[in-house]
Every structure is written in structure tokens, then in C-alpha cells.
């Protein structure tokens, strides 16, 4: 009987060895999809910041929950500290990216259109940085191919 | 005892290191250059908007601080990519050694 490649002792040994040697979490399709979706949502929500915060309160609240869920998902992945640090930077309400922008909008009301446009560019880049790291991670299929 | 071809392992490991680690270094340099170029262009644009009164002094300062936050995010991303490069190298090295060991079996 032919043993499937994935069950061969050398393959199993190598799989375990590679897992033990990993220094960063492998690629996660769910995390990638969530981050790209949140980028789009963030830019849509931010576009409303030229209007009063109170008229978009519910929309922002929903977005914040989605953001928190994505953070929690990534926080519970092993060897994922760098991605968590990236989320922390992006979400920090005392910083000057997404978290800071939402706080500013909430505290100051409608923001200037040019400022909103520049912040959108900046925050899109922040999301891209996070997404690029996720997409650069080793995909399980690639790891299996190496065997 | 199995006769493992250590010379070949050495040769293949050198090629692997050159491919993976040099590729990573080149990418990191290109990324840093790209960031610098973008940051310069952004700064010029914000200064123009500030001069025209399209953004406030406070807005300008937040944009500059945001750029610093982005630079930190880029540095974190590079740290992550270097770990990925290291993991890829380790996996490749293990594969080279294991194949050489299996090939040497009688």
C-alpha cells in the first residue's frame, strides 16, 4: 500500500521540525481577508469625517467593533507579536493614525476635507503595511511544497 | 556509514542564503527608498495646504506625527519580513540536509 506523502515518517518529522523552527506565524487567509476588508471600511468611514461625528456615530461604532474583532483574532495567533504591534500603532487613540483620527473626529466634530483626504492616504498605507506583512508570511501550501 | 555529500550541502546552502537573504535585503532597501520618496512628496503637499489655509497647524502636526508612526510600522514590517526570510532559509537548509542524508542511504 502506498503511504500518502503527508503521512510519510520523513515528511511528518520535517513538518514538526519546521513548525518548531518557525519564528513568525504562518500566513492566515482569514486575517488577510479581514484586514483588506477593514481597510476599505476604514476609508469609507473616514470619508464621512467632513460631516459631524454624531450623525455617523452608529456607523463608527460598528466599524470599531469589526476592528476589535480583527485585533482579537490576530492576538490569539501564536508567534504573531509583530502583527499585533502593527495593529496597536494603527488603533492607538493617542497616536496619529486610525485610532487618533477617530478620536479627533469625535472630539472636534467635522474635519477639514483636505485633512481627511491626507489622513486617508496615510491610514491606507498603514493598512497596506499590515497586509503586506501578512501576505509575505509563509503559506501552508508553500511549506508543504517544500517537503 | 552513509556517505553524505557535505560539499554539495555547502554549495546548495550558499546558493539558498544568497537567494533568500539578498532578495530580502534588496527589498528592504527599495522599501525604505520608496517610503522616503513618498514622505517627501507628502510633506511638500501638506506645506502647500497649510500655506493656503486648507489645513490647520494642528492638522499639519498630526500628519507629520502620523508619518513617523508609519515609519515605525514599516520598520516593524521589515522585522517581520526578516523573520520570514530566516524561516524560509531554515526550512530550505533542513530540506537540503535531509535530501542529502536520504540520498546517501544505501
Q: Over the stretch A88-115, which tens digit does the pLDDT of each residue have?
A: 999 999 999 999 999 999 999 999 999 9
B43 at A interface, C-beta within 8 A: no
Q: Give B66-94 as a DSSP string.
A: HHHHHHHHHHHHHHHHHHHHHHHHHHHHH
How confident is the model over A4-56, as pLDDT tens digits? 555 556 666 666 666 667 899 999 999 999 999 999 999 999 999 999 999 99
Taking alpha carbons only, the member of A96, A98, A95, A77 closest to residue A22 is A77
Question: Cβ B90–A83 below 8 Å, yes or no?
Answer: no
A chain contacts of residue B98, beta-carbon cutoff 8 Å: 10, 14
Per the domain annotation, does A54 fall within a domain? yes
Among all residues of chain A, which has the CA nearest to that of B97? A14
Q: Nearest C-alpha of chain A: how many angstroms from B75? A: 10
Q: Which domain holds residue A38?
A: 27-146
Taking alpha carbons only, the member of A129, A121, A123, A116 closest to residue A96 is A123
Report ipTM for this prediction. 0.88
Per the domain annotation, does A108 fall within a domain? yes
Question: Which of A36-40, B56-60, B82-86 is predicted least confidently?
Answer: B82-86
Model confidence at B1, in pLDDT bands (50, 70, 90)?
low
Phi and psi dihedrals of A31, rounded to 5? -65, -40
- The structure's pTM equals 0.88
Q: What is the pLDDT of residue B36?
A: 93
Question: Cβ A130–B84 below 8 Å, yes or no?
Answer: no
The residue ranking higher by pLDDT, B11 or B105, is B11
Residue A26: its H or E element: none
Per the domain annotation, does A83 fall within a domain? yes
Taking alpha carbons only, the member of A78, A27, A138 closest to residue B91 is A138
Q: Nearest C-alpha of chain A: how many angstroms from B54? A: 6
Q: DSSP label at A25?
A: P
- Using alpha carbons, list the distances in angstroms from residue B56 to A124, B15, B43, B60: 22, 54, 14, 6
Mean pLDDT (chain A) is 90
Q: Taking the CB of residue B1, how many other CB atoms lie within 10 A of it?
A: 5
In this complex, the residue of A17, A18, A96 whose CB is nearest that of residue B69 is A96
Taking alpha carbons only, the member of A133, A94, A69, A114 closest to residue B69 is A94
The residue ranking higher by pLDDT, B28 or A14, is B28
In this complex, the residue of B59, B87, B90 whose CB is nearest that of residue A115 is B59
Question: Cβ A100–B62 below 8 Å, yes or no?
Answer: yes
Amino acid at each position: 500500500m502506498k503511504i500518502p506523502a503527508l503521512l510519510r515518517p520523513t515528511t511528518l518529522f520535517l513538518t514538526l521540525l519546521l513548525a518548531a523552527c518557525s519564528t513568525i506565524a504562518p500566513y492566515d487567509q482569514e486575517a488577510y481577508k479581514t484586514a483588506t476588508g477593514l481597510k476599505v471600511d476604514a476609508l469609507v468611514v473616514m470619508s464621512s469625517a467632513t460631516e459631524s461625528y454624531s450623525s455617523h456615530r452608529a456607523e463608527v461604532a460598528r466599524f470599531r467593533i469589526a476592528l476589535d474583532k480583527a485585533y482579537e483574532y490576530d492576538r490569539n495567533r501564536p508567534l504573531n507579536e509583530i502583527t499585533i504591534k502593527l495593529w496597536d500603532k494603527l488603533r492607538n487613540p493617542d497616536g496619529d493614525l486610525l485610532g487618533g483620527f477617530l478620536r479627533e473626529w469625535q472630539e472636534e466634530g467635522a474635519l477639514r476635507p483636505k485633512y481627511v483626504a491626507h489622513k486617508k492616504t496615510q491610514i491606507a498605507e498603514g493598512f497596506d503595511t499590515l497586509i503586506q506583512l501578512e501576505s509575505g508570511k509563509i503559506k501552508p501550501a508553500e511549506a508543504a511544497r517544500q517537503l | 556509514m552513509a556517505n553524505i555529500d557535505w560539499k554539495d550541502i555547502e554549495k546548495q546552502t550558499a546558493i539558498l542564503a544568497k537567494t533568500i537573504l539578498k532578495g530580502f535585503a534588496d527589498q528592504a532597501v527599495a522599501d525604505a527608498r520608496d517610503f522616503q520618496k513618498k514622505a517627501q512628496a507628502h510633506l511638500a503637499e501638506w506645506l502647500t495646504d497649510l500655506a493656503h489655509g486648507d489645513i490647520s497647524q494642528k492638522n499639519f502636526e498630526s500628519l507629520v506625527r502620523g508619518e513617523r508612526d508609519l515609519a515605525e510600522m514599516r520598520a516593524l514590517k521589515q522585522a517581520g519580513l526578516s523573520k520570514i526570510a530566516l524561516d524560509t532559509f531554515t526550512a530550505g537548509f533542513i530540506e537540503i540536509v535531509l535530501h542529502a542524508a536520504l540520498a546517501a542511504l544505501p
